[in-house]
Structure 1
Amino acid sequence: MAAENTSSVTEFILAGLTDQPRLQLPLFFLFLGFYVVIMVGNLGLIILIALNSHLHIPMYFFLFNLSFIDFSYSSGIIPKMLMSFVSKNIISYTGCMTQLFFSSFFVISECFILSAMAYDRYVAICKPLLYMVTMSPQVCLFLLLGVYGMGILGAIAHTGNILFLTFCAENLLNHYMCDILPLLELSCNSSYLNTLVVFTLVAIDIGASIVTIFLSYGFILSSIFHISSTEGRSKAFSTCSSHIMAVSLFFGSGAFAYLKPPSIIPLDQGKICTVFYTIVVPVLNPLIYSLRNKDIKLAMNKTLGRITFS
């Protein structure tokens, strides 16, 4: 990733979320609060799942990894974003490419971990008697390797696409992070082909994930409608509702940001969409999965009880 070999630009200035001086300090404290919630919420879920043996089942295995992914890519983005509210925010070319690689890796991994969670819910509701056999530790590990494997492949493709570009004199990046579309706009030799590569990769990642999720929930809904008791239907809907909320927020904002040309959505509006899937979704995921989940509440009470008695 040596800057000398590919670019005359050795560093970028991140413009941040807004250029309005009166908004800088309030936004700093707002996103600092978001970051604290992300750290406490996702690390809390990770610790609860690790410490409580009754949560060592496939559903919480995937939730553990979702929390790890949210925690990781937020930590790679928000601290640098906070700097842009209080000072001139400079990032080296190498640092920018590194941030792009890891943010792409974690975002793509989240696409596929949500798909794996949808498949898990499908097996739990549609084939409950075969659940522990179908979702064996070996199958869960295979699915997780697929999740992170797709993340690595996508990150290499996106970062490689940008590394072939040349950045001339202009180095003010109209974003709070090193994102793909602002870098394409800033480059002095980006082409239709580079943009097409981005849209194709994003469409494959989002499309494959959404198809898996829709198929899973199609079978789930069909099974729910065949449940005779109202209590059984309510329990099945409750099991899936948290995941549906998380999926809608993540894929909705991601698709809106990347699957429309920049000529239709200006980069300033694209930045707002990016805020949703990089910051708002990691804030809400722990709340969605914990406040509506009896097992998580039980684990929290048991863990707090242990701490209190100790």
Structure 2
Amino acid sequence: MDEKIETRKTEHIKIAEEEKVTSERNYWDDIRLVHQAVPDFDFDSISTETKFLGKRLSYPIVISSMTGGTSRAMTINRNLAAAAEKFNIPMGVGSMRACIQDHSLSSTYSVINEFNVPVKLANIGAPQLVKQGKKPFTDSDIEYAFKLIDATFLVVHFNFLQEMVQPEGDHNAKGILRRLADIAGSYPVIAKETGNGFSREACLQLKDAGVEAIDVGGLGGTSFAAIEYFRAKNAGDSEKMSSGETFWNWGVPSPASIKFCQDLLPTIGSGGLRKWAGSCQGTLPWTQPVG
């Protein structure tokens, strides 16, 4: 068992529950929908159904990739999968690095197979696709993760900023676009940020690499730099604390990231959406669905 990864996953969950790890500003608060006093339609005829990447959904909502790799994560994934089945919406699991490196942790992800989740998103990290201290994920590793949950799409999450702040982070990104293009030739890939958003330039690079969709994961919600700040604080690592504090509020705000990407690729709007009104702001007029 890879105790370091499991410990890190547990710390992430605990810190997210106990500490304030959101960005200082939620940029959705700056968005207002224009009130229309003359709607001229029947409210009861409104349907929440939508279609995204060829899949029919009951609601324009995605349970974005969150966790896995610990017993607590298994409980969380089970509960989320039950909700995904009930509401007929997609669900992603957290980074599958843990189960790729230690197959004994696979059940913390595959637990979602107990439910009829209409669209399942496998999830691997971009930093682990290129050479770091350890060898990068192989084609066999990716196949294992994808088949483990009978996935519909493969999420590749871009968390290079978090890795730079993380005490044990992977710092190399050289060759990621070439490797991503290789993978996109074999799997339907969704590129996801994890709280810092994509610029338009980044989205163009991802489009050229062959990804099918973008999950913007923009600034405004959970800050993984903040989470790593608290991990560093607990470990007495002042240098990484400083890095976490510096990048706590760094990134492309979610509404801006959506605007940058929505005309280039199908876009999932995520990052700071906490209530239904915010979800409406995220879906209209730019994007469907939200995460």
- Is the shorter-chain TM-score for this pair beyond 0.5, marking a shared fold? no
If asked which structure has higher relative contact order (CA below 8 Å, sep 6+), I would say 1
Give the TM bin, normalised by the shorter chain: under 0.3
Larger Cα Rg: Structure 1 or Structure 2? 1
Q: What is the TM-score normalised by the length of structure 2?
A: 0.25
Q: What is the TM-score normalised by the length of structure 1?
A: 0.24
